[in-house]
Amino acid sequence: MKQHAIAIHGGAGTILRSLMSSEKERSYKKGLEDAILAGDKILSNGGSALDAVELAVRALEDNPLFNAGKGAVFTNEGKNEMDASIMDGRNLMAGAVSGIQNIKNPISLSRAVMEKSEHVYLSGLGAKQFADKMKFEYTPDEYFYVQQRFDQLQSAKESDTMVLDHTGDSLEHGEKKFGTVGAVALDVHGNIAAATSTGGMTNKKFGRVGDSPIIGAGTYANNNTCAISCTGHGEFFIRAVVAYDISCLMEYKGLSLKAACDIVVNQKLVTFGGEGGLVAIDAKGNIELPFNSEGMYRGMKKSDGELYLGIYKD
Instruction: Give the side-chain half-sphere CA count within 13 A for 191.
Output: 19
Nearer Cβ to ligand ASP, position 41 or 79?
79
Q: How many residues bind ligand ASP (CB under 6 A)?
A: 16
Nearer Cβ to ligand ASP, position 283 or 289?
289
State the nearest-atom distance from the C-beta of 231 to ligand ASP, in Å. 4
The separation between CA 63 and the C-alpha centre of its own chain, rounded to angstroms, equals: 13
The yes or no reply on residue 179 touching ligand ASP (CB under 6 A) is: yes
Q: Which residues contact 298 (CB under 8 A, 6 or more apart)?
A: 7, 8, 9, 10, 32, 277, 279, 289, 291, 309, 310, 311
Nearer Cβ to ligand ASP, position 47 or 179?
179
Nearer Cβ to ligand ASP, position 185 or 201?
201
The yes or no reply on residue 278 touching ligand ASP (CB under 6 A) is: no
Nearer Cβ to ligand ASP, position 105 or 231?
231
What type of residue sits at position 110? S
The yes or no reply on residue 110 touching ligand ASP (CB under 6 A) is: no
The yes or no reply on residue 11 touching ligand ASP (CB under 6 A) is: yes
Total Cβ atoms within 10 A of residue 136:
20
Nearer Cβ to ligand ASP, position 47 or 106?
106
Report d(CA 204, CA 98) in Å as an integer: 13
Total Cβ atoms within 10 A of residue 138:
11
The yes or no reply on residue 232 touching ligand ASP (CB under 6 A) is: yes
Identify the CA nearest to 296 among candidates 281, 274, 308, 312: 312
Of positions 63, 180, 202, 225, contacts ligand ASP by CB under 6 A: 180
Report d(CA 179, CA 165) in Å as an integer: 5
Identify the CA nearest to 242 among candidates 206, 217, 262: 217
State the nearest-atom distance from the C-beta of 84 to ligand ASP, in Å. 11
Q: Which of 14, 75, 167, 180 is catalytic?
A: 180
The yes or no reply on residue 182 touching ligand ASP (CB under 6 A) is: no
The yes or no reply on residue 14 touching ligand ASP (CB under 6 A) is: no
Report d(CA 237, CA 232) in Å as an integer: 7
Mapping DSSP to helix (H, G, I), strand (E, B) and coil, where does residue 254 land?
A: coil
The yes or no reply on residue 172 touching ligand ASP (CB under 6 A) is: no
CB 67 within 8 A of CB 199: yes
**Where does this chain touch ligand ASP (CB under 6 A) — which range of 49-57, 118-126, 198-206, 262-270?**
198-206
Identify the CA nearest to 111 among candidates 85, 145, 77: 85
Active site residue 219: no
Report d(CA 116, CA 28) in Å as an integer: 34
Of positions 69, 234, 274, 295, contacts ligand ASP by CB under 6 A: 234
Nearer Cβ to ligand ASP, position 47 or 95?
95
Binders of ligand ASP in range 62-101 (CB under 6 A): 67
CB 266 within 8 A of CB 290: yes
The yes or no reply on residue 106 touching ligand ASP (CB under 6 A) is: no
Binders of ligand ASP in range 150-169 (CB under 6 A): 164-165
The yes or no reply on residue 299 touching ligand ASP (CB under 6 A) is: no
Total Cβ atoms within 10 A of residue 45:
11
Catalytic positions: 180
- Residue numbers at the binding site for ligand ASP (CB under 6 A): 11, 67, 164-165, 178-180, 198, 200-201, 210-212, 231-232, 234
